[in-house]
Structure 1
């Protein structure tokens, strides 16, 4: 692996576990086993590392989601698969990470905002539109409102002020909010297909609702 890729990979793991504010350039160089001089040959400062880590992760997320969704049979399975992918990746994320990035790393936060507005929201809008066209989702739902609601539900699950960890794990909160959202937009036809997926995945905790 190229040294820069190693740095990004190790820095990402540290940021996801501990957040960004508590991790220093010394921590990163020590964890990788390189000198700070080598580290600064590839990145100008910590802000640059955070920026490039977030950029790399958002690019990977786009690619992974697009590849996985290509296997979906219909919009219902698509939204289930997309949510499962997100839970897999973010399950170990320190809730402080997003707060750190938003408050202290504006360039990196712009990437997160762009990912939400140009990829995540657009993907959900497309899903809702196709679900309505196929008679799986209720035709009277407002696509823009429901797309933004879904994004906020995802974000809300990581807010410890709303869902303290002693109440339920982050993954369980995401599962509950996902199925609450999906059930609310289904037609009778969609409900039948949805229940088939629930039965199909009933032994898979990544999908199984309580």
Structure 2
């Protein structure tokens, strides 16, 4: 791995774990096992590292969602796979990073918001269309309203005010809100698949 890639990988890991404000260029250099001078040879300042790190993270998420859309057997399978991906990502993700970027790095935050609109919201809408065409989601769904509601659910799961980490586990929150969401939009045919994918035990 070349030095630049190594620096970016380490920086993104530290940002995801501790947030961006408390991580210094010295911290990044130390974890890379190189001098701070070497880090500065590849990145002029921490802001450039934040920008490129967030861009890499966004591109990774986009590729993962696209792969899921292509390989999923149906809309519910796609939605559950995305939930598991987000949950897996969240295990090594400190929500304070997004809070600090929003507060202290507005230009970078604008890029994240653009990703949320152009990728996340679009992907949710396309999943709803797919589920309706497959007979798994109800036909009377208002796509714009339901897609935005789902996006708000995902945003809330990362919100420390709504689900503080000392009281809620991210995987549990994500599974609960996703199960509630799918069961609310699914047809009878869809419910059978939901129970299968989420291993929900039907009431006697």
Pick the TM interval, shorter chain. over 0.9
1:198 match: 198
Name which of structure 1's ranges 136-145 and 73-82 shifts more when overlaid on structure 2. 136-145
User: How do residues 1-210 of structure 1 correspond to structure 2 at under 5 angstroms?
Assistant: 1-199=1-199
Give me the whole-angstrom Cα distance separating, in 2, the residues matched to 1:45 and 1:197.
45
Q: Which runs of 5+ in 2 are unaligned?
A: none
Alpha-carbon distance, 1:47 to partner: 0.7
Counterpart contact for 2:80–2:197, Cα < 8 Å: no
Displacement after TM superposition at 1:168 (Å)? 2.3
Distance 2:36 2:167 in 1: 42
CA–CA distance in 2 between the matches of 1:178 and 1:6? 35
How far did residue 69 of structure 1 move?
3.1
Aligned-pair CA distance for 1:193: 2.2
- Residues 76 and 131, structure 1, Cα contact 8 Å, conserved in 2: yes
Flag as ranges the 4+ runs of structure 1 deviating above 6 A.
none
**Structure 2: how far apart are the matches of 1:198 and 1:156?**
21
Q: 2:179, 2:198 within 8 Å by CA — same for their partners in 1?
A: no
TM-score for both structures, normalised by structure 1: 0.90
Partners in 2 of 1:148 and 1:162 — Cα distance? 18
Structure 2: distance between partners of 1:168 and 1:37: 41
Q: Post-superposition shift, 1:198?
A: 3.1
Alignment length (residue pairs): 201
Q: What is the TM-score of this pair, normalised by structure 2?
A: 0.93
RMSD of aligned Cα (Å): 1.5
Q: Is the 8 A contact 2:51 2:108 kept in 1?
A: yes
Q: Matched residues in 1 for 2:166 and 2:37: separation?
A: 43
SS in 1 for 2:158: coil
